[in-house]
A and B are shown apart, each in its own frame.
Chain A
Amino acid sequence: MTNKVLSCVLFVFLWLCYACQEGQVKDTGETSESTGLDSLDHEIKNRGQIETSHAVPSHLEMSTLLQSLKLPYLPALLNSPDNLKLYTDKNFKALNLGVYGVDFGYMNVYGKGGAASDYIRAIKNLAESLEVGYYFKLTTMEQLAFLGKQDSLTHIMNFAYNQTDHYLRSVESENLSALIQTGIFIEGLYFATQIMKDNDSFEIMERIGVQKATLDNLLIMMGKYDRDALFADLTSDLQALKKEYDKIEIIYTYGDPIQKEVGGRLVVEDNTTSKMNITQEQQEKITEIVAAIRSKITQPQ
């Protein structure tokens, strides 16, 4: 009798282990190897089969562009860490984890990492509330900031945000991941649009324009949870932004890429070029909508 019970328990245990392994190995894109355009086009239309979480630029990319264009550092754009006390709701914590990530990236890229201690603590605080504090090593980050190790700090912070995203997806908390990405998206766009008010830069304008594709992906992510009031409200705001973005025209001219092998690396220069048509009016409208969404996120009522 004991043997039979034991056998049953072990059988169930083994079956569970097998089931767990099934989940461990991703099998999402079960299509056969595809190089044909028709097949990819089909999948682009049906984006449910394409992983979109990487489609939101990292919290660092906009800041790096601003710095590379030698634009002045504007601390007034940052969301004050004093606002941390306003974020009592889990969803707002996630949104502002994204926002503070961009703020920190901006400070660090401009060599102000040493003054970013309050931001690092705000990030750690929010991350802990969302049970992802493990990925943000406070002491290490503060030491690197103090020592002015800008590159290491950037790497550690980027890594922490990516591992957070992987983790939240793995524990079926994609809603929080979508909110972090929304915070990153809006804060980056807020910086760019505010800076464009006083700087007529083609590079920034183009970077604002290319967020059209990011926005589409974000709406797919956010749309899954629009039964929640906050998600529905944000999705509606992002839809209004998309309406303006849809007026922007991007023209691509195809050119064959050039490939060569250099020191064991494959070096490719793409010759497809893009031209973006965005009017002053469209830009102003986008600036206005982004500022309103950013205010809702950072100053919850």
Chain B
Amino acid sequence: MIRRSIYVLFSLAMIPFFGYGQCNEELVNKSAELLKDYTYIKDIKVSMRQSNPPTTQRYSIILSRGTRYRITTINAEEYSGELVLKIFGQKGIMVVSNYNPVKDKIYKVLDYTCKSSGQYFIEVSFKDGREGCAVCVIGFHQKIPAWLEKLPMD
């Protein structure tokens, strides 16, 4: 009886350790695969419990003019949470989100061409405050587009 109780309790105790098992390097690799010809530079792992209102986390990142960035997101299948990502530029103005509320669509791949160098903020949360685990990978492509070469360089 005691032995069985110990086994049951031990099994229950182990659940939390495996609960976020997929929020790991495997998920980073899956997300990095979506970069294609972009060069991987950073990854952000996000895991959150269900919350109302949705919990948010913010990360500071430096982006450079003339650089194309690709930001990819992959959600762990075990959770219903889908990662919503927003990028805020200087003065706190939102420049892009991977979520289109009109279409109610979340894009896994977001390509962003930066025209002003500086500090940006990536804000992440899970749609509707659901529990989730996800990875966001950021890649870059240095090729300087023609439009940038035409800009005044004073």
Instruction: Give the total number of A-B pairs whose CB atoms are below 8 A apart.
Output: 221
Q: Find chain A residues with CB under 8 A from B55 CB.
A: 27, 29-31
> Residue on B with the closest CB to A24?
B20
Does A213 reach chain B (CB closer than 8 Å)? yes
| Contact (Cβ within 8 A) A270 B95 | yes
* Docked complex: B64-122 residues within 8 A CB-CB of A: 64-67, 86, 88-96, 98, 100, 107-119, 121-122
Q: Find chain A residues with CB under 8 A from B39 CB.
A: 60, 64, 151, 154-155, 158
State how many angstroms separate the Cβ of A210 from the closest Cβ of chain B. Answer: 4
State how many angstroms separate the Cβ of A249 from the closest Cβ of chain B. Answer: 12
CB within 8 A of B64: which of A27, A54, A61, A269? A61
Contact flag A25-B20 (CB < 8 Å), given A50-B121, A54-B44, A209-B117: yes
| Contact (Cβ within 8 A) B110 A20 | no
Q: How large is the interface on B (under 10, 10 to 19, 20 to 34, 35 or more residues)?
A: 35 or more
Interface of B is mostly: mixed
> Residue on A with the closest CB to B147?
A269
| Contact (Cβ within 8 A) B60 A37 | no
* Docked complex: A37-57 residues within 8 A CB-CB of B: 37, 40-41, 43-44, 47, 49-57
Q: How large is the interface on A (under 10, 10 to 19, 20 to 34, 35 or more residues)?
A: 35 or more
| Contact (Cβ within 8 A) B143 A269 | no
Question: Interface of B with A (CB < 8 Å)?
Answer: 2, 5-6, 9, 12-14, 16-17, 19-20, 25, 28, 32, 39-49, 53-62, 64-67, 86, 88-96, 98, 100, 107-119, 121-123, 125, 129, 140, 142-144, 151, 153-154
